[in-house]
Amino acid sequence: MPSPQQNRKVVVTGIGVISSLGNTVESFWDSLVAGRSGLGPITRFDSEGYTCKVASEVNDFDPSDYMDPKEARRNDRYTQFAVAATRRALADGSLDPEAVDPARIGVLIGSGIGGMETIEQQSRVLFERGPRKVSPFMIPALIADMASGVVAIEIGARGPNFGIVSACATGAHAIGESFHMIRSGRADVMVAGGSEAAITGLGYAGFCSMKAMSTHFNDEPERASRPFDKKRDGFVMGEGAGVLILETEEGARRRGARIYAEIVGYAATCDAHHITMPDPEGKGLGEALQYALDEGGVGPEEVDYINAHGTSTPYNDKFETLAVKKVFGEHAKELILSSTKSMTGHLLGAAGGVEAAACCKAIETGWIPPTINYEEPDPDCDLDCAPNRAVQRDVRVAVTNNLGFGGHNGSLVFRRPGA
């Protein structure tokens, strides 16, 4: 392996998204800019008896479009999403992995939960039919590192490879750690992001018991996710994957690749406060934001857009707003802080990948996606969230935040190429 090199420029050249808003980056982005909701009634299990009956489900998905059908059956839905998003990202970036030294390509695709569907299905088999009927593929299918492992096998990538698990900060951490690997010379190309498929009876039962999910809009699913709105009452679970192709700027320019954005800063911190509630002063997230800006040499006044974690829960939206105000000062009133979770729902470990993709598209197109369902202002969430309509703006620098149970925080800073 070549000696580590410090501070190589790292750029995004490919985007792959699997989501309720579409399975191509074009359909996903067009839906976001149009303010289209991907939420609807739960169809993946019988929601009778559940307090939340709304989900953001991936439709029209056939894993055999992306991998061998036999291999697809051996893997959990979350791994299928990861492979599909990777195939999409490689095609979007016009990158043939066989044209790159396989030892210099890594994969870091995390999941907050892993194979929830497999756990639920095989538990049922155990209790109804006994231990001898449990699938020999159960363990490989359910563990949360398997998305990275299977993707690497599919594309022949022998570089850095493991699974990051940090709840809803997973995708951001996977991209950030991949950024550092390339910048330091440990890899030349990284396939990075998150994947999640936890819309199951067991997954919903747990979150409903925590009273974390929306319950007031079961009859109007598209209105259920409403970040920063005073009537928000909980998040809505989504599923899917968001994967970015990261590579050195030198390599990208050498092969004539389109560059969406440069990653310039990343930081991960912990609130050290509570297993599920964010720090009420926003200290941990504020530190992650400041550290990421400092690493990128970006002043607060340079940031045009923040893709908020914005889960539509009472505490998160309030404390995230507070953290942004502390870090950005007066400039907090000038930037836009919108939440695409209003349309995609909360993809848990995949959220960071999908929302990083939204930042890259905002830089490329000059459109900032809205926060839909914003109807009644909350004085605790008083920043510009692009209410209900996309905003056209020259986006030089975009930031994305993600927070996870356990107090995990992650912030990524993207800059327009050449800016």
End-to-end CA distance of the chain: 32
Q: What is the pLDDT of residue 6?
A: 66
Q: Are 124 and 211 in contact (CB under 8 A)?
A: no
Identify which of 279, 200, 194, 281 has the alpha carbon closest to the alpha carbon of residue 243.
194
Burial class (CB in 10 A: 0-12, 13-18, 19+), 46: exposed
Per-residue confidence at 1, pLDDT binned at 50, 70, 90?
very low
Strands 105-110 and 189-196 come out as: parallel
Q: Is 273 a catalytic residue?
A: no
Query: What are the structure tokens assigned to 44, written together?
Result: 């993946």
Per-residue pLDDT averaged across 15-19, rounded? 98
Three-state secondary structure call for residue 56? strand
Q: How far apart are CA 279 and CA 316, in angstroms?
A: 9
Catalytic residue, chosen from 346, 360, 381, 385, is 346
Q: Is 168 a catalytic residue?
A: yes
Beta-bridged to residue 240, according to DSSP, are 196
Q: How far apart are CA 306 and CA 324, in angstroms?
A: 9
pLDDT digits (tens, 9 = 90+) for 226-276: 999 999 999 999 999 999 999 999 999 999 999 999 999 999 999 999 999
| CB < 8 Å & 24+ apart, contacts of 59-66 | 59/20, 60/23, 61/18, 61/23
Q: What is the pLDDT of residue 111?
A: 98
pLDDT digits (tens, 9 = 90+) for 61-104: 999 999 999 999 999 999 999 999 999 999 999 999 999 999 99
Q: What is the pLDDT of residue 170?
A: 98
Q: How far apart are CA 277 and CA 157, in angstroms?
A: 38
Q: What is the pLDDT of residue 418?
A: 83
pLDDT digits (tens, 9 = 90+) for 141-150: 999 999 999 9
Catalytic residue, chosen from 208, 309, 359, 360, is 309
Three-state secondary structure call for residue 108? strand
Q: How far apart are CA 202 and CA 210, in angstroms?
A: 13
Q: How far apart are CA 253 and CA 126, in angstroms?
A: 53
3-state helix, strand, coil split of the chain in percent (to 5) is: 40, 20, 40
Beta-bridged to residue 22, according to DSSP, are 19
- Averaged pLDDT score across all residues of the chain: 96
Task: State the residue for tokens 């709304």.
Answer: 54
Query: Cα dihedral angle (74, 80, 83, 84), rounded to 10 degrees?
Result: 140
pLDDT digits (tens, 9 = 90+) for 289-314: 999 999 999 999 999 999 999 999 99
Distances (CA, A) of 86 to 72, 108, 195: 14, 11, 10
Q: How far apart are CA 254 and CA 360, in angstroms?
A: 21
The proportion of the chain whose per-residue pLDDT surpasses 70, expressed as a percent, equals 99
Q: How far apart are CA 187 and CA 181, in angstroms?
A: 6
DSSP state of 387: B
Residue type, 113: I
Q: Is 270 a catalytic residue?
A: no
pLDDT digits (tens, 9 = 90+) for 204-222: 999 999 999 999 999 999 9
pLDDT digits (tens, 9 = 90+) for 315-333: 999 999 999 999 999 999 9
pTM: 0.97
Residue 366 has pLDDT above 70, yes or no: yes
Catalytic residue, chosen from 52, 168, 359, 385, is 168
Strands 397-404 and 305-307 come out as: parallel
Other C-beta atoms lying within 10 Å of the C-beta of residue 98: 9
Per-residue pLDDT averaged across 42-48, rounded? 97
Exposure class string for 275-290: b at 16+ Cβ within 10 A, else e: eeebbeebbbbbbbbb
Exposure class string for 190-223: b at 16+ Cβ within 10 A, else e: bbbbbbbbbbbbbbbeebbeeebbbeebbeebbb
pLDDT digits (tens, 9 = 90+) for 389-419: 999 999 999 999 999 999 999 999 999 998 7
Sign of the alpha-carbon torsion through 166, 170, 173, 178 = positive
Residue 2 has pLDDT above 60, yes or no: no
Angle between helices 116-129 and 201-209 (to 10 degrees): 110
Q: How far apart are CA 415 and CA 419, in angstroms?
A: 7
Q: What is the pLDDT of residue 5?
A: 55
